[in-house]
Amino acid sequence: MRLGGSLRGRLLRRLAILLGAILLLSSLSAYWSARRAADTAYDRTLLASARAVADGLYTQEGQLKANVPYVALDTFAYDSAGRIYYQVFDLDGQLISGYEGVPAPPAGTPRTNDYPALAHFYDATYRGQGVRVVSLLQPVSEPQVNGIAEIRVAETQGARERMARELLVGTLWRMGLLSISALLLVWVAVNLALRPLETLRRAVALRASDDLRPLPEAGLPREVLPLVDALNQFNERLHGLFERQSLFIADAAHELRTPLAALKARIALGLRAEAPEEWRSTLEQVALQSDRLTALANQLLSLARIESGGRAISEGGAQRIDLSQLTRELAMAMAPLAHARGVALALEAEQPVWIDGEPTLLNELLSNLVDNALAHTPQEGNLILRVFAPAVLEVEDDGPGIPPEEHDKVFERFYRRGHQGSGAGLGLAIVGEICRAHRAQISLHQGSAKGLRVRVEFPVSGAEA
């Protein structure tokens, strides 16, 4: 049998997966946040580099010149994690200082609103490396020179990526420790929450096999109460089943004791007799008593089969059966017996009526109903079997009928009307048990003339519903 696994482990695994997903999303968010923070910090430095270069602009003989101090180059030209490149263009867009080939801003690059400057920030590739570039438009107003100069400063991404990684690693460490702490706290909380279940398990394990008292509900969480209620209801049904079995065994022993005692007494009388005629009479009486004991034993075995058949039906072992065909076959088998008793047996079943059931039990039900009807139908009487939609069986006879006040009692085990008759009082009890096993409703009604009409309504088959 495959085990379902630990509830504690299942909760922790699902929570770990959830925390892992949150950690992954948070990591991505933290990386982009760290990258934005790095870009903001280094963009400010990049703009400061461009402004330092702009401070070195001057005019000579009507030409714009750039004087980048050594201090500016020493401060901005190199970085421990990257490198800075710059260009200076005059008013006509001619390169007057700096490196060759620094990419120009793409068309439509917006001007930054973060700083009070005519600056454009953009990403590009320079000398096979990714760079961050600022294009600063610097106004020039001199007596002989008047216009806009452009200064470009490009920085490799190494420093920014290092800063973003450092921020990301720090965030991941903190979130990882937080996740582990959360899992530990959840593990403790789950253990505390499952403690009532462990208490309930020990209470059930320590009980004796015949202890079917209700389980205590005090101190249990609200989510566990439906389970305890279901267990208590199951114990109550099991207790009722045991009581019925004990009562049945006691009644069966009583019913068997009487005919066995009579049989033993009859044999004792026969042994004391001397005439052969008395021996033959004794043997005939013994044979009659033996037939009754055999019939009683068969009925007791039928009740035992009903229990196993009912379990098979509840466990999904029911078959799809045509009730009309089943009744037709039984009617043909019982027709000779009815004819011998002078009873007209008729069947009214024109179309298939499908139900879900156990064939052996349904045959037992039909046999008991027909036997009971034949036993109470007088000669030249009528016995009618009807099967009609949606799933109804009726057995009607011309017998004396049953008073309404006894309709419920006749389905009790070993009940005999007025303590008359040679039967054991199990026929209709067996019918009632079979109906219960099939979740069918049985009821007694007065016949169209005077006799008894037994009506059994089965649940409609799923294929027909």
Whole-angstrom distance, CA of residue 403 vs CA of residue 397: 15
**pLDDT tier, 421 (very low <50, low <70, confident <90, very high otherwise):** very low
Q: Go through 346-363 and write b for each residue having 16 or more CB atoms within 10 A of its CB, e for each that does not.
A: ebebeeebbbbbbeebbb
**Sequence ranges of the domains in the chain:** 7-165, 226-314, 319-457
CB count within 10 Å of CB 331 equals 18
Least confident of 115-129, 142-156, 252-266: 252-266
Which tokens is 110 given?
């917006």
**pLDDT tier, 5 (very low <50, low <70, confident <90, very high otherwise):** low
The pLDDT, as a whole number, for residue 4 is 55
Compute CA distances 454 → 357, 358, 393, whole Å: 19, 20, 8
* Mean pLDDT, range 259-267, rounded to an integer: 73
Residue 174 reports pLDDT greater than 70: yes
R_g of the chain, CA atoms, integer Å: 50
The pLDDT, as a whole number, for residue 457 is 93
Indicate if 226-314 has the same CATH topology as 7-165. no
CATH fold, domain 319-457, is: Heat Shock Protein 90 (3.30.565)
Compute CA distances 241 → 49, 244, 247, 286, 302, whole Å: 93, 5, 10, 36, 17
CATH fold, domain 7-165, is: Beta-Lactamase (3.30.450)
Q: Reduced to 3 states, what is the DSSP secondary structure of residue 42?
A: helix
**pLDDT tier, 313 (very low <50, low <70, confident <90, very high otherwise):** low
Contact 12, 146 (CB under 8 A): no
Which tokens is 211 given?
């202890």
Residue type, 273: A
Whole-angstrom distance, CA of residue 359 vs CA of residue 323: 10
Most confident of 256-270, 322-336, 414-428, 441-455: 322-336
Q: Go through 1-38 and write b for each residue having 16 or more CB atoms within 10 A of its CB, e for each that does not.
A: eeeeeeeeeebeeebeeebeeebeebeeebbeebbeeb
The pLDDT, as a whole number, for residue 303 is 62
Contact 181, 153 (CB under 8 A): no
Q: How many CA atoms lie within 13 A of 423 on its CB side?
A: 20
Which tokens is 204 given?
């059930």
CB count within 10 Å of CB 56 equals 15
pLDDT digits (tens, 9 = 90+) for 372-418: 888 888 888 889 999 998 899 999 998 888 887 777 777 776 666 55
* Mean pLDDT, range 337-353, rounded to an integer: 89
Closest Cα to residue 395, out of 356, 437, 343?
A: 343
Residue 165 reports pLDDT greater than 80: no
Whole-angstrom distance, CA of residue 216 vs CA of residue 206: 14
Q: How many CA atoms lie within 13 A of 52 on its CB side?
A: 18
Residue 441 reports pLDDT greater than 50: yes
**pLDDT tier, 324 (very low <50, low <70, confident <90, very high otherwise):** very high
**pLDDT tier, 78 (very low <50, low <70, confident <90, very high otherwise):** very low
Q: Write down the CATH number for the domain with range 226-314.
A: 1.10.287.130
Whole-angstrom distance, CA of residue 319 vs CA of residue 461: 10
Residue 1 reports pLDDT greater than 60: no
Q: Reduced to 3 states, what is the DSSP secondary structure of residue 394?
A: strand
* Average confidence score pLDDT of the chain: 79
* Mean pLDDT, range 359-371, rounded to an integer: 87
Strand ranges inside 29-94, DSSP E: 57-60, 63-66, 78-79, 82-89
Which residues are paired to 454 by β-bridges?
Answer: 395, 444
Total-model pTM: 0.46
Q: Where do the H-state alpha helices sit in 404-460? A: 427-437
Residue 268 reports pLDDT greater than 90: no
The pLDDT, as a whole number, for residue 63 is 85
The pLDDT, as a whole number, for residue 77 is 45
* Mean pLDDT, range 197-209, rounded to an integer: 77
Q: Where do the H-state alpha helices sit in 206-275? A: 225-272
Residue 224 reports pLDDT greater than 70: yes
pLDDT digits (tens, 9 = 90+) for 27-75: 778 777 777 777 787 888 888 888 888 888 888 888 888 887 655 555 4
The number of angstroms, rounded, from the C-alpha of 187 to the middle of its chain's C-alpha atoms is: 25
* Mean pLDDT, range 312-331, rounded to an integer: 81
Contact 397, 383 (CB under 8 A): yes
Which tokens is 327 given?
């009744």
Q: Considering the chain, what percentage of its residues have pLDDT values greater than 70?
A: 81
